Amino acid sequence: MLSRTADNIYWLARYVERADCLARILDVAQRLSYLPVTYGGSTNEWSSVLLTAGCADAFVEKHGPIENATEENVVSFLALDPENPTSIRNCFEVARTNARSVRTALTSEMWDAINASWIELRGFPDRALTREELTRFLAFVKETSLRFDGAMHRTMLRNDAFWFARTGVHMERADNTARILDVKYHVLLPDEEQVGGPLDYFQWASILRSVSALTAFHWVYRDSVKPWLVADLLILNRAMPRSLASCYENLANSLDDIADAYGRQGPSQRLARSIRARLTNQSIDDVFHTGLHEFISEFISDNNKLGAEITEQYLT
Partner 1 sequence: MRRIFDEMSGEDGAIRSAYETLSSWLDKVPREVLDQRRKEAEFIFRRIGITFAVYGEQNSQERLIPFDIVPRIITNQEWAGLSKGLEQRVKALNLYIKDVYSKREVLRAGIVPEDLVYKNPAFRPEMNGQRVPHDLYVHIAGIDIVRTDPDTFYVLEDNARTPSGVSYMLENREIMLRLFPELFSMHKVAPVDKYADDLLATLKSLSPRAGSEPNVAILTPGIYNSAYYEHSFLADKLGVDLVEGRDLFVKDNVVFMRTTEGPKRVDVIYRRLDDDFLDPLAFRPDSVLGVPGLMSAYQAGNVTLTNAVGTGVADDKAVYSYMPDIIRFYLGEEPLLPNVPTWRCREPEHLKYVLDHLEELVVKEVHGSGGYGMLVGPKSDKAQIEVFRAKLKHDPANFIAQPTLALSTCPTLVEEGVAPRHVDLRPFILSGSDRVRIVPGGLTRVAMKEGSLVVNSSQGGGTKDTWVLDA
* Least CB distance to partner 1 at residue 34 (A): 4
Position among 1, 19, 28, 33 found at the interface with partner 1 (CB under 8 A): 33
Q: Which stretch binds partner 1 (CB under 8 A): 76-84, 99-107, 194-202, 261-269?
A: 194-202
- Cβ within 8 Å of residue 81, ≥6 positions away: 62, 87, 89
Tell me if 313 contacts partner 1 by CB under 8 A. no
* Least CB distance to partner 1 at residue 30 (A): 6
Tell me if 225 contacts partner 1 by CB under 8 A. yes
Distance from C-alpha of 20 to C-alpha of 146, rounded to nearest angstrom: 9
Closest alpha carbon to 29 in 19, 41, 20: 41
Distance from C-alpha of 156 to C-alpha of 167, rounded to nearest angstrom: 14
DSSP assignment of 46-83 equals HHHHHHHHT-HHHHHHHHSSGGG--HHHHHHHHHT-TT
Q: Which stretch binds partner 1 (CB under 8 A): 14-22, 170-178, 201-209, 257-265?
A: 201-209
Tell me if 201 contacts partner 1 by CB under 8 A. yes
Tell me if 198 contacts partner 1 by CB under 8 A. yes
The 202-221 contact track toward partner 1, x by CB under 8 A, reads x--x---------x-xxxxx
Q: Give whichever of 193 and 223 is closer to partner 1, judged by the CB atom.
A: 223
* Least CB distance to partner 1 at residue 239 (A): 13
End-to-end CA distance of the chain: 12
Tell me if 224 contacts partner 1 by CB under 8 A. yes
Q: Which of residues 268-307 bind partner 1 (CB under 8 A)?
A: none
Tell me if 34 contacts partner 1 by CB under 8 A. yes
Determine contact, residues 91/15, Cβ cutoff 8 Å.
yes
Tell me if 127 contacts partner 1 by CB under 8 A. no
Produce one character per residue of 75-96: b if its CB has 16 or more CB atoms within 10 Å, e if not.
bbbbbbbeebebbbbbbbbbbb
Helices (H), 54-197: 56-63, 71-79, 88-101, 108-121, 131-155, 160-188
Q: Which residues bind partner 1 (CB under 8 A)?
A: 30-31, 33-39, 41, 71, 130-132, 134-135, 198, 201-202, 205, 215, 217-225
